[in-house]
Amino acid sequence: MLVILPLGEINANHKNNLGIVQIVDLQGNPIIPSFDVKSKIVSSEESIVQIIHDAVIPSGISYAVFPIETTGAVGNSVISASAKGVIGTEDEISTSSSLTQLKIFASGLDELIPVDQPVEIKLFIDDENTESIAGALIKIETDGNSLVDPGIVRTGPDGSAVIRLTATNGPSISLNLIATADGYSEGKDTLTINVDAPDKTLSAVDLQLPEWIVYVIIAAILLIGVLVILFLKKSKAPLEEEWEEEEI
């Protein structure tokens, strides 16, 4: 019998691993049984590595897959496999603490989002093995051109969370995303989003002036225009008198 482990060293925080048990002859050649063969697989250190289920090698196939679960502890364990009428085997496996970095993904975004209208964005948190991370915290920081609700959110069982984003200015906004979870290194990413914001004309709001001052300025401009017209009319009258005197 032969036991094949995923790696000689596995991540102590990555619980889902798979091993293979296979029936072989003394030269290592596969033996295909004509009936189901139930194997017994045990771990010498269950505080480090646990084998939850024994594997049954079905008839017509020389091997079967069995799950290997880690506990988060670092150390070594010997995995032994045996079956009735078959020479048993064993192999050593080690666990190490290597924190994987969290990855942040977003979905539900169009190429352009409208201004002053809330849109829903779904954020996903995975580890480096593309495993979804439930219970991770995501902190969202804006650049001052948008509003986010909520500013901190926790992922659900599928590793996702939903936020509502309202762009207040354009033509683009950016969000700084920070993800944290126990047993993982912090993940960071910046999300840049284009905004369909119309061009704004100059107004009292842009100038940060009271509205009544704008009306005063407009009235002053009109008054200046009237004075200019009156001045031109007065200056024209003496000029016409001079022309009349010259003709006489």
Could you give the number of structural domains in the chain?
3
Please enumerate in sequence order all residues whose Cβ is within 8 A of that of 181, keeping only pairs 6 or more positions apart, or say none: 102, 125, 133, 135, 136, 137
* 73 and 11 within one domain: yes
* 127 and 213 within one domain: no
Q: How far is it, in rounded angstroms, from Cα 32 to Cα 50?
A: 28
- Report the phi/psi class of residue 85: left, alpha or beta, with left for phi > 0 and alpha for psi in -120 to 50: left
Least confident of 1-15, 176-190, 229-243: 229-243
* 190 and 105 within one domain: yes
Confidence of residue 189 (pLDDT cuts 50, 70, 90): very high
Quick check: 152 pLDDT over 60?
Answer: yes
- The secondary structure of 162-207, three-state, reads EEEEEECCCCEEEEEEEEECCCEECEEEEEEEEEECCCCCCCHHHH
Quick check: 209 pLDDT over 80?
Answer: no
Please enumerate in sequence order all residues whose Cβ is within 8 A of that of 37, keeping only pairs 6 or more positions apart, or say none: 23, 56, 57, 83, 84, 86
Rounded average pLDDT over 69-86: 88
Quick check: 39 pLDDT over 60?
Answer: yes
* 25 and 104 within one domain: no
* Residue 171 preceded by cis peptide, ω within 30: yes
* 108 and 186 within one domain: yes
* 117 and 47 within one domain: no
pLDDT digits (tens, 9 = 90+) for 58-73: 999 999 999 998 888 8
* 208 and 178 within one domain: no
Rounded average pLDDT over 221-227: 80
Q: Where are the alpha helices (DSSP H) in 84-143?
A: none
Rounded average pLDDT over 39-44: 92
Rounded to the nearest angstrom, the gap between the alpha carbon of residue 3 and the centroid of all alpha carbons in its chain is 38
Picking from 34, 67, 96, the residue at the C-terminal end of a domain is: 96
Q: How far is it, in rounded angstroms, from Cα 236 to Cα 134?
A: 86
Quick check: 241 pLDDT over 60?
Answer: no
* 160 and 73 within one domain: no
Residue-level pLDDT at 22: 92
**Dihedral sign, Cα of residue 132, residue 130, residue 63, residue 20:** negative
Residue-level pLDDT at 204: 46
Q: Let me know how many helices (H) and strands (E) the chain has, helices first.
A: 2, 20
Residue-level pLDDT at 185: 79
Q: What is the residue range of 181's domain?
A: 100-196
**What's the whole-model pTM score?**
0.45
Residue-level pLDDT at 183: 79
Residue-level pLDDT at 238: 56
Confidence of residue 245 (pLDDT cuts 50, 70, 90): low
Percent of the chain residues past pLDDT 90, beyond the cut? 48
* 208 and 189 within one domain: no
Token couple for 65: 């897959």
Confidence of residue 8 (pLDDT cuts 50, 70, 90): confident
- Residue of 182 and 154 predicted with greater confidence: 154
Specify whether the CB–CB gap between 188 and 177 falls below 8 A: yes
* 105 and 189 within one domain: yes
* 86 and 104 within one domain: no
Quick check: 248 pLDDT over 80?
Answer: no
- Find the CATH number of the domain harbouring 12: 2.60.40.10
* 159 and 187 within one domain: yes
Confidence of residue 240 (pLDDT cuts 50, 70, 90): low
- Find the CATH number of the domain harbouring 160: 2.60.40.1080
